[in-house]
Amino acid sequence: MSSLKEFTKGIIKENPTLVMLLGTCPTLAMTTQAINGLGMGIATTFVLLGSCVVISLLKRLIPDQVRLPAYIVIIAGFVTLVSFLLQVYVPDLYSTLGVFLSLITVNCIILGRAEAFASKNSVGRSALDALGMGVGFTLALVLMGSIREILGFGTWFGVDLTFGVLEPIGLFSMPAGGFMVFGFLVAVVNRLSHYQISKKKMGCENCPGRAGCGGHCGTVSKTEGEGK
Amino acid sequence: MRKSWDLIRPTFVLVIICLVISAALALTYNLAGVADLANAGYSAEQLAEFSASALPEADELQKVDVSVEDEDFHSVYKAANGAGMAIVVVTKGYNSDGMTVMYGFNPDGVMQGIYVIAQEETPGIGDKVTTDTEYLSRFAGQSADSFQVDTVAGATKTSTGLINGAKRAFELFEQLKGEVLG
């Protein structure tokens, strides 16, 4: 796979939120407004990039038995770093993100990419993969935040679009509206990304997570047994 | 020897990673000055924004450190030009986490205005009241003896929260005026 593909696959084809359905909690919670989605996306991208590069660098040093705690410590380190920086330089965003900032630590996109990609690939490829996934996540969040903000508040990035004529649909700023927008977006993106695949027989080759598991997701325990 | 190293290695590597990460974070914490931030309270710009609504005649608000044993009390500020004082109260609206509201008073105890600093009321329903300047302006000119502000239909709990907060602020004003303005 060329390096460009490594980067672009995260944007639509393997979009972490809308195709792989990872990181749904921050997606639903932080997309009441486009700006919050953007902030959450950028913070997550930074953590993703930093931890994937470090994990890829250390992949030979980290023993297999403790790889998950080691990854989580590295990820948590980057999350704390981001929260310090936001607290000092962008306090407004810090207070909006609130508890979801610390919860980036357990965001499965990051651990997922670390485990599935960064721990098996070179630093450069891991960085591109992380950046692509981060951009895909950010775009998904901004898109969803824009839809919910326009429908729910009548504004976009804080700019009033209703001119006092239309009453916004408050439902979209609440959790129920979030689930609705999320469902529609997943449907649209799935249509865009695997329309042709869905006509073929759905199998391991066509699974969007294939690049991550390398086609071994169903046979992990078997291969491990053979190794011993 | 080889075998015992295999046993120790995972723990050893994990400990090293933890130590390095902790050291890096401690360094960032000190370089970025996170500790100072926690004690700083509201910035001068934020206070200017609050006082424009809560205490319009004040030129600059200065924090006054008082010891008040009251969980509703947040902080108190006095105007540098003697226009009065502003009391920040945490009052319960629809959301039980409460709203943080600043109430401004002139030295005679007449309310000059209010400003909702932070709230998590229902978007589009309760939170409308907290930015409705027409409704908020009804608090201006009220005094403790003749306090009369109506609730808003459709946002009863939020507006009741603002009214209860105002009543608490009047009590706190009586309690604090000697210390803050005297």
pLDDT per residue over B87-128, tens digit each? Answer: 999 899 888 888 889 999 988 889 998 999 888 888 778 888
Task: Parse chain A into domains and list their residue ranges.
Answer: 3-201
Q: Name chain B contacts of A66, Cβ cutoff 8 Å.
A: 10-11, 13-14
Q: Name chain B contacts of A152, Cβ cutoff 8 Å.
A: 123-124
Of the ranges A36-45, A166-175, A190-199, B67-76, which one carries the lowest mean pLDDT score?
A: A190-199
> What are the Cα distances from residue A151, in Å, to A9, A145, A148, A189, B121?
30, 10, 5, 20, 19
Counted across chains A and B, CB pairs separated by less than 8 A come out at 57
Q: Name chain B contacts of A65, Cβ cutoff 8 Å.
A: 10
Cα distance between residue B92 and residue B165, in whole Å: 8
Cα distance between residue B96 and residue A2, in whole Å: 53
pLDDT per residue over B124-171, tens digit each? Answer: 788 888 888 889 888 888 888 888 888 888 889 999 999 999 999 999
User: Residue A215 in contact with residue A205, Cβ under 8 Å?
Assistant: yes
> Is the CB of residue A57 less than 8 Å away from at least one CB of chain B?
no
> Is the CB of residue A73 less than 8 Å away from at least one CB of chain B?
yes
The nearest alpha carbon in chain B to A65 belongs to B10
B24 CA to chain A: closest CA distance, Å?
Answer: 8
Measured CB to CB, residues of chain B less than 8 Å from chain A are 9-11, 13-14, 17-18, 21, 24-25, 28-29, 32-34, 37, 122-125
> Is the CB of residue A69 less than 8 Å away from at least one CB of chain B?
yes
CB atoms inside a 10 Å sphere around CB A45: 20
ipTM confidence score: 0.70
Which pLDDT score, from 0 to 100, does residue B23 have?
A: 94
* Closest CB to B124 among A70, A87, A173: A173
Which pLDDT score, from 0 to 100, does residue A226 have?
A: 37
Could you tell me the strand order of the sheet in which B73-79 lies?
A: B61-64, B73-79, B85-91, B99-105, B111-118
Interface contact flag, A76 B17, Cβ < 8 Å: no
Which pLDDT score, from 0 to 100, does residue A183 have?
A: 92
Mean pLDDT of A178-187: 91
Q: Name chain A contacts of B11, Cβ cutoff 8 Å.
A: 66
pLDDT interval class at A201 (50, 70, 90): low
Res A74 pLDDT > 60:
yes
A61 CA to chain B: closest CA distance, Å?
Answer: 8
Question: Could you tell me which residues come within 8 angstroms of residue A62 by beta carbon, excluding any fewer than 6 positions away?
Answer: A55, A70, A71, A119, B13, B17
